[in-house]
């Protein structure tokens, strides 16, 4: 079974912990008061079985639910170390979130060691009727998915499974390319 470290990054209060709790099945539905993440929480769980190159496989996931507070910036290299997937979370109803996501993006792109294979943006609109702030053109290449953790838990889980399927295919192909080149 594959083991995959996936890091969840983005501005403070954008919903990273709420999302991580749902994805790891720590909770069944969204709820609870805000408790700032102190540094990072690591959630370990098994993914559902996914169809990877005509095989049904699952993976052990380490989901790193990181604080969005910049006082922990000196830990960002640790957060990213050996991460193969990244979920960027922001609230599109917040002007500051949209701007701040640039900072996380720039850090990831310029990180000295980066093993990321897949990165996705979760657009977690906390104020459904407010106008949507668009992300900068930097994000044009990244998949951006609107999610709704208050009303559609199954939706976010299937988006995550698709993301994971794509990630596992890449890891699978890399592993087999390496094996081929050593024979
Ligand atoms: N109404 C609504 N509230 C949300 C949503 N997502 C998160 N919240 C609330 O927003 C607050 C912050 O959510 P968290 O998931 O703790 O945010 P975080 O990104 O982990 O924040 P840090 O750990 O400080 O970086 C909490 O009170 C959540 O209940 C949403 O989609 N809708
Ligand atoms: Mg948190």
Domain regions of the chain by residue span: 2-182
CA 11 – ligand 2 centroid, Å: 9
Instruction: Please give the pLDDT value at position 35.
Output: 96
Instruction: Please give the pLDDT value at position 175.
Output: 84
Q: Determine contact, residues 104/48, Cβ cutoff 8 Å.
A: no
Contacts of 6 (CB under 8 A, 6+ apart): 61, 62, 63, 64, 83, 84, 85, 86, 87, 167
CA 140 – ligand 1 centroid, Å: 25
19, two tokens: 């999302």
Mean pLDDT of the 107-118 span: 89
Ligand 1 atom closest to Cα of 37? 23
pLDDT band at 31 (very low <50, low <70, confident <90, very high): confident
pTM of the model: 0.96
CA distance 96 to 86: 21
Q: How does pLDDT run across 47-91, given as a tens digit for each residue?
A: 999 999 999 999 999 999 999 999 999 999 999 999 999 999 999
CA 124 – ligand 1 centroid, Å: 9
Other Cβ atoms less than 10 A from the Cβ of 95: the count is: 11
Instruction: Classify domain 2-182 at the CATH superfamily level.
Output: P-loop containing nucleotide triphosphate hydrolases (3.40.50.300)
Q: Looking at the chain, which runs of residues are DSSP E strands?
A: 2-9, 40-46, 50-52, 55-57, 59-66, 85-90, 118-124, 143-147
Ligand 1 atom closest to Cα of 124? 31
Q: How does pLDDT run across 114-164, given as a tens digit for each residue?
A: 899 999 999 999 998 788 899 999 999 999 999 999 999 999 999 999 999
Ligand 1, pocket residues at CB < 6 Å: 12-18, 33-34, 36-37, 67-69, 124, 126, 149-150
CA 21 – ligand 1 centroid, Å: 11
């Amino acid at each position: 079974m594959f083991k995959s470290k996936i890091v969840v990054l983005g501005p403070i209060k954008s919903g990273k912990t709420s999302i991580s709790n749902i994805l790891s099945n720590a909770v069944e539905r969204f709820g609870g008061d805000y408790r700032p993440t102190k540094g990072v929480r690591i959630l370990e769980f098994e993914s559902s079985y996914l169809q990877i190159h005509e095989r049904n496989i699952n993976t052990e996931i380490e989901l790193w639910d990181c604080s969005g507070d910049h006082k922990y910036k000196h830990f960002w290299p640790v957060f990213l170390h050996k991460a193969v997937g990244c979920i960027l979370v922001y609230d599109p109803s917040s002007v500051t979130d949209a701007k701040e996501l640039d900072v996380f993006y720039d850090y990831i792109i310029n990180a000295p060691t980066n093993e990321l294979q897949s990165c996705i943006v979760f657009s977690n609109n906390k104020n459904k009727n407010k106008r949507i702030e668009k992300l900068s053109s930097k994000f044009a290449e990244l998949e951006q998915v609107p999610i709704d953790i208050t009303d559609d838990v199954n939706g976010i889980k299937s988006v995550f499974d698709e993301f994971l399927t794509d990630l596992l295919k890449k890891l699978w192909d890399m592993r087999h390319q390496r094996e081929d080149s050593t024979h």
